[in-house]
Amino acid sequence: MHDIRSIRDNPEGFDAGLARRGAEPVAKDILALDEERRALTTKLQEAQSRRNEASKAIGKAMGQGDIDTAEVLKAEVAQIKADMPALEEREKALGEKLQHALALIPNIPFDDVPQGEDETDNVEVSSWGEKPAFDFEPKEHADIAPALGMDFETGAMLSGARFTFLRGDMARLHRALGQFMVDRQTRENGYTECAPPVLVKDEAMYGTDKLPKFAEDSFRTTDERWLIPTAEVSLTASVMGQIIDDAALPMRLTALTQCFRSEAGAAGRDTRGFIRQHQFEKCELVSIVKPEDSEAEHERMLKAAQGVLEALELPYRTMLLCTGDMGFGARKTYDLEVWLPGQGAYREISSCSNTGDFQARRMNARYRPEGSKKTEFVHTLNGSGLAVGRTLVAVIENGQQADGSVLVPEVLAPYMGGVTKLEPQA
């Protein structure tokens, strides 16, 4: 959510920021709506003031025996009272219309975000690791994994497309990856582990900018709750409506949860395999910080996500997203893309975003700086540390052997009960 005052103060600059994202200018329309609402608010205040003045004058006139004046004033007060409900209703409707209009406007990118239209304009910041060399033609995970316990057919039979049933050591490896991620983020990177609800109210989705714009991308239950598309929603919204103590910041939260996405905007993409599922697990990272700390926290969060890939010895590259490829609520985003030998391509496995005070304004999440009577909005950041299913895919493709088996990364040994290799089953 944007601060209407910043639009009033610099409408040209606001539209210029939107233009960097390829968005249409909106300041003129927003300010016209704002001016109409403010004019109506002024009219209401004047009416209320006149009603109070006239009410007092009635008593004075009655005390002086001026019945005619008192009757005229009574009629005026009655008319004001009759007119006010319509004015109040109109003011409320205009306020809601303004809020809705503001809620549909994407965040403004930071100045150091590269200009661009789509993913082809993203900038590689760094790369890590050596791509594995094979003495055979590497396969995609969808060709290797069924013999190892990744059952696409049963998943589809039970739930339809984009659902998968994992069995045996494949299921254990999937669980091990998630547990390893959470343990690393809590023990080494200072995140507090949480177990949040995966069903949330409208307010939580709205506060984390998933509503109203992206309603079709999520699943809604018949009792009007939402299945979270990411634990970012639950973790970030946990401070909704709060004034946080200065000493409690930064807050760093992590959770390993099921996530649910309708993938409405991804029709026809990654329909084969385990890359894009309706139900998946993710280790989410959320930071809630003071405004002056958010840029440094963004770099810290990025390193926390990178560390998981490095521990698993998975080659990856870090991409700074351009203005045209960033998410709706982000001011700056880094993507981590892991190397998949079977596809011969890098694929996204984590996004780490700084949203500034965009979500905090929607949630009314604030803090009171030490020694100050005024409150300020916090800054919120979110990232994947990592997406478990995509990490499983990367382990399969990078660890594949000529006989169809897959080597388990050494760092997962404590979680695998002595299993060092996934073997094909008859």
Does residue 390 carry a catalytic annotation? yes
Going by pLDDT thresholds of 50, 70 and 90, the confidence category of residue 227 is: very high
DSSP assigned state of 192? E
CA distance 25 to 29: 9
Average pLDDT over residues 172-176: 98
Average pLDDT over residues 328-345: 98
Predicted confidence (pLDDT) at residue 270 exceeds the cutoff of 80: no
In this prediction, residue 231 carries a pLDDT of 98
CA distance 375 to 353: 24
Residue with tokens 């996004």: 351
Going by pLDDT thresholds of 50, 70 and 90, the confidence category of residue 109 is: very high
Average pLDDT over residues 393-409: 98
Going by pLDDT thresholds of 50, 70 and 90, the confidence category of residue 142 is: very high
pLDDT tens across 63-108, in order? 888 888 888 999 999 999 999 999 999 999 999 999 999 999 999 9
365-to-102, 202, 238, 288, 382 alpha-carbon distances in Å: 18, 16, 9, 10, 15
Does residue 261 carry a catalytic annotation? yes
Does residue 126 carry a catalytic annotation? no
CA distance 196 to 236: 11
How many Cα atoms occupy the beta-carbon half-sphere of 245 within 13 Å?
Answer: 2
Catalytically annotated residue among 261, 300, 347, 362? 261
Does residue 351 carry a catalytic annotation? yes
Catalytically annotated residue among 218, 234, 351, 353? 351
What contacts 300, CB < 8 A, 6 or more positions away?
287
Predicted confidence (pLDDT) at residue 265 exceeds the cutoff of 70: no
Return the number of other C-beta atoms located less than 10 Å from residue 364's C-beta. 15
Catalytically annotated residue among 8, 175, 225, 276? 276
The verdict on whether omega for the bond into residue 341 sits within 30 degrees of 0, i.e. cis, is no
Closest CA to 235 of 191, 281, 176: 191
CA distance 18 to 107: 8
Structural tokens at position 251: 């807050």
pTM: 0.93
pLDDT tens across 209-221, in order? 999 999 999 999 9
In this prediction, residue 64 carries a pLDDT of 87
Going by pLDDT thresholds of 50, 70 and 90, the confidence category of residue 271 is: confident
In this prediction, residue 268 carries a pLDDT of 67
The verdict on whether omega for the bond into residue 211 sits within 30 degrees of 0, i.e. cis, is no
Average pLDDT of the chain to the nearest whole number? 96
Q: What percent of the chain has pLDDT over 70?
A: 99
CA distance 210 to 220: 12
pLDDT tens across 43-60, in order? 999 999 999 999 999 988
In this prediction, residue 266 carries a pLDDT of 62
Going by pLDDT thresholds of 50, 70 and 90, the confidence category of residue 264 is: low
Catalytically annotated residue among 284, 287, 390, 397? 390
DSSP assigned state of 373? S
Does residue 184 carry a catalytic annotation? no
Closest CA to 121 of 397, 289, 274, 324: 324
In this prediction, residue 425 carries a pLDDT of 87
Q: Which is more confidently placed, 258 or 76?
A: 258
Least confident of 38-42, 142-146, 261-265: 261-265
Catalytically annotated residue among 36, 263, 348, 376? 348
DSSP assigned state of 293? G
CA distance 151 to 405: 16
35-to-44, 85, 89, 100 alpha-carbon distances in Å: 14, 20, 17, 16
Q: Which is more confidently placed, 265 or 368?
A: 368
User: Which amino acid is present at 345?
Assistant: A
Average pLDDT over residues 135-148: 97
Average pLDDT over residues 389-397: 98
Predicted confidence (pLDDT) at residue 269 exceeds the cutoff of 90: no
Residue with tokens 């599922």: 277
Predicted confidence (pLDDT) at residue 267 exceeds the cutoff of 70: no
